[in-house]
Amino acid sequence: IVLTTMAIFWVISILISLYLANWTLLPVMLAYEKQKEFVENASHELRTPLAILQNRLELLFQNPTATIIDESENISASLSEVRNMRLLTTNLLNLARRDSGLKIEPEETNATFFENIFESYQMLAQDADKTFTGTVKLDGNVNLDQSLVKQLMTILFDNAMKYSNEDGKIDILITKSGSYLNLFVSDNGEGISNEDKKRVFDRFYRVDKARTRQKGGLGLGLSLAKQIVVAYGGRIAIEDNPPKGTKFVIRLKIEMPTVHPARIFQKNK
């Protein structure tokens, strides 16, 4: 009886330790799988422009007597692939840097900061025959990392431009509620299905790979945007924008402006 009890106890403890080991190893295994998938995706994305570049350069090499004008199509296609690769490597570097911790450096910011950004968006939209409206409702100053917020807005604005048609309409509204800054970016473009809404924040995820690549999409913009929002302790959500289009709803936790000690001193003098 003693031996049987010991054997049962031994088997049970082995089973429990196997079960526990599985659970403790699971996050490590998942992280490894994610990293592997990321490296595979990044390599694939680099291989495509490299293959096209190789092909174009070989064509140029096979006909050394041709003039630059004759070969201009090959040269311009090669240049476009080089630009793609540069964009991709810059984005990958940004993601890697951010993975090791994103530091927020807040500055006192007022409505003018947003209005200046809106001005440049207005010009870009006009050039593409689209309409842009930017509205900012802020009473007083807020503390924000201006470069991160600008990057976030630009990712969403670029997407709204890319994924809307010729009579595209893009709106950005900025409001403040309590200690949160709200950012709404809406467009009347092709919209995002409920299925894809869950996946577009994944790195390299694109709804229609062939079409988005044509539009210069790498599938990294929204994952960068999410990283920025998370660093702010905020959240980002996607809603439909009836009758057609997408609305990004972002909430950033902001600090109230601090009064610099020197100013208190000056005030009291």
Q: Where do contacts with ligand ADP occur on this chain (CB under 6 A)?
A: 159-160, 163, 187, 189-190, 192, 200, 205-207, 212, 217-223, 246
Contacts of 100 (CB under 8 A, 6+ apart): none
74 versus 227: smaller Cβ distance to ligand ADP: 227
- For ligand ADP, the closer of residues 182 and 212 by Cβ is 212
**Interstrand relation of 131-137 and 107-109 (parallel, antiparallel or unpaired):** unpaired
For the stretch 253-267, what's the b/e string if a residue is b when 16 or more beta carbons lie within 10 angstroms of its beta carbon?
A: ebeebeeeeeeeeee
Nearer to ligand ADP, 142 or 218 (CB): 218
- In the complex, minimum distance from the CB of residue 204 to ligand ADP, in angstroms, rounded to a whole number: 8
Residues whose CB is less than 8 angstroms from the CB of residue 169 and which lie 6 or more positions away in sequence, other chains included: 130, 131, 133, 187, 188
Closest CA to 145 of 250, 263, 231: 231
Tokens linked to 100: 């090791």
At closest approach, how far in Å is the CB of 240 from ligand ADP? 11
Give me 230's structure tokens: 């998370």
Which are the contacts of 254, defined by CB distance < 8 A and separation ≥ 6? 106, 142, 143, 144, 176, 179, 180, 181, 232
Comparing CB distances to ligand ADP, the nearer of 238 and 254 is 238
- Which residues, at least 6 apart from 215, have a Cβ–Cβ distance to it below 8 Å? 162, 163
Between 60 and 88, CB nearer to ligand ADP: 88
When the beta carbons of 102 and 207 are compared against ligand ADP, the nearer one is 207
Contact 236, 248 (CB under 8 A): yes
Q: Half-sphere exposure of residue 10, counting CA atoms within 13 Å on the CB side?
A: 6
CA distances from 256 to 9, 109, 143 (A): 60, 10, 6
Smallest gap from residue 217 Cβ to ligand ADP (A): 2
**Cβ 146 to ligand ADP, closest distance in Å?**
21
CB of 137 or CB of 211, closer to ligand ADP: 211
C-alpha to C-alpha distance for 49 and 57, rounded to whole angstroms:
12
Q: How far is the CB of 194 from ligand ADP (least distance, A)?
A: 13
Q: Smallest distance from the beta carbon of 91 to ligand ADP, in angstroms?
A: 8
Q: Which is nearer to ligand ADP, 13 or 43 (CB)?
A: 43
